[in-house]
Amino acid sequence: MPRDYYEILEVSRSAGPDEIKKAFKKAAKKSHPDLNKDDPDAERKFKEVTEAYDVLSDADKRRIYDQYGHDGLKSRGMGPDFQYSNVQDIFEQLFGGGFGDLFGGGGRSRGPRRGADLEYPLRLTFMEAAHGCTKTISVPRRVDCETCEGRGLKEGANASKCGTCNGAGQVISAQGFLRIRTTCPSCRGAGTIVRPEDRCSDCSGAGKVRETGEMEIKIPAGSYTGLQIRHTGAGEAGDPGGEAGDLYVTIDVSPHEVFKRDGADVFVTVPVPYEVMCLGGQISVPTVHGEETVDVKRGTPSGHVIVLRGRGLEMLRARGQRGDQQTRLVVEVPTSLSEEQEGLLRQLAELRGQGVHNKGFWQNLFDKFTG
């Protein structure tokens, strides 16, 4: 049976992208066969680590894995396919070069760099999360300069080859028996240098400018705190010429004064007049979908729970299905009585052979309904 991916990387199920990336770096170095020649299981361990990162670092794969596990990935054709190039791509993204360079072997050039991912925290009310909504957010991010189209050069100018890396965009440093390829500090991986007099005046030669743009975010019904909604390509622009990163909108739901939730199930406590609990009747119960009329049986004890099937929240893992509402009934004891009401209660107490000064009618009533 396949191992749990979170267990392999030693992270919690709520771990964010940065924590998962950090855990993968640590686990990959620890399990790589070149550094563990005496461990016959090193290759298998290394493949497990890389497979776990491939799934957990991809928002879509991770969502499916969290909901349906390994079988869910396989049924959607998203199972692991670990060829040499796939693994090298991962290491190139994380360590600044292929894993051959990291552990002393050959490598290949970096190519265009992908833009950084962005995370945007979005606060919702309980009802907004319950029913779904559309929110307009303002996201500051780096984008290509329109004047120079991301080149960083003024019109008619050309960049010069970087002398530090000789145009490769990367430099190699030795640490013991390891050779580590890192981004060139002079040209930042571009392989070229822009002279001050040739720089674009609008972006000062950076090729990027920071701007704040508005985006509409569709929030699905049943959203919960910690849910991440991915918008591909809405992150920062790549440099140079790489694809843009992604935007992750992280949901935070405010608590509600009446409703509580556990997954898709909703919990609510409803006070009911004691005469209704004693004699039975109908009451109006709040739900996230509106008021519901509920029958209360004669002699219902305080604390009794009525389950309203399908009156909870939408299930994100099973579209079209809802959770339930657990409705807890408690006796509503009046804080003040009219003379007529008090007189009638005293008569009732006498009829039941319980004077209000003995154990007490209210205490007996309380004992009856709290058991």
Per-residue pLDDT band for 361 (boundaries 50, 70, 90) equals low
Tokens of 309: 């099937």
The mean per-residue pLDDT over the stretch 44-53 comes to 85
Residue 322 covered by a domain: yes
Do 217 and 243 lie in one domain? The reply is: yes
The pLDDT, as a whole number, for residue 283 is 95
Contact 119, 250 (CB under 8 A): yes
Strand partners, 182: 171
Give the N- to C-terminal CA distance of the chain in Å, as an integer.
48
In DSSP notation, 13-34 reads TT--HHHHHHHHHHHHHHH-GG
Residue 39 lies in a domain: yes
Domain check: are 212 and 347 in the same one? Answer: no
19 plus 41 within the same structural domain? yes
Domain finish residue from 254, 274, 290: 254
**Strand intervals (E) in the chain:** 118-124, 133-144, 160-161, 170-175, 178-183, 192-193, 208-219, 228-231, 247-253, 260-262, 265-273, 281-287, 290-296, 305-308, 325-332
- Quote the mean pLDDT of the chain: 83
Are 80 and 8 contained in the same domain?
yes
- Host domain of residue 19: 1-108
Q: Cβ distance 334 to 275 under 8 Å?
A: no
How far apart CA 355 and CA 371 sit, in angstroms, is 21
Q: Which of 193, 223, 254 is at the close of a domain? A: 254
Residue 191 lies in a domain: no
- 21 shares its domain with 137: no
- Residue 246 falls within a domain, yes or no? yes
Tokens 């004693």: give the residue: 278
pLDDT band at 299 (very low <50, low <70, confident <90, very high): very high
How many domains does the chain divide into? 4
pLDDT score at 155? 87
Residues 47, 98, single domain; the answer is yes
Band of the pLDDT at 97, cuts 50, 70, 90? very low
Pair 315, 265 in one domain: yes
pLDDT, one tens digit per residue, over 118-167 is 999 999 999 999 999 999 999 999 999 989 888 888 888 888 889 999 98
Domain shared by 46 and 92, yes or no: yes
Residue 115 sits in the same domain as residue 97: no
In a domain, 198, yes or no: no
- Coil vs helix vs strand at 289: coil
Residue 156's contacts (CB-CB under 8 Å, 6 or more residues apart) are none
* Residues 98 and 14 grouped into a single domain: yes
d(Cα 34, Cα 23) in Å, to the nearest integer? 19
Whole-number percent of the chain with pLDDT over 70: 81
Provide the b/e sequence for 271-295 (b: ≥16 CB within 10 Å): ebebebbbeebebebebbbeeeebe
Same domain, 117 and 239: yes
User: In this model, does residue 359 exceed pLDDT 80?
Assistant: no
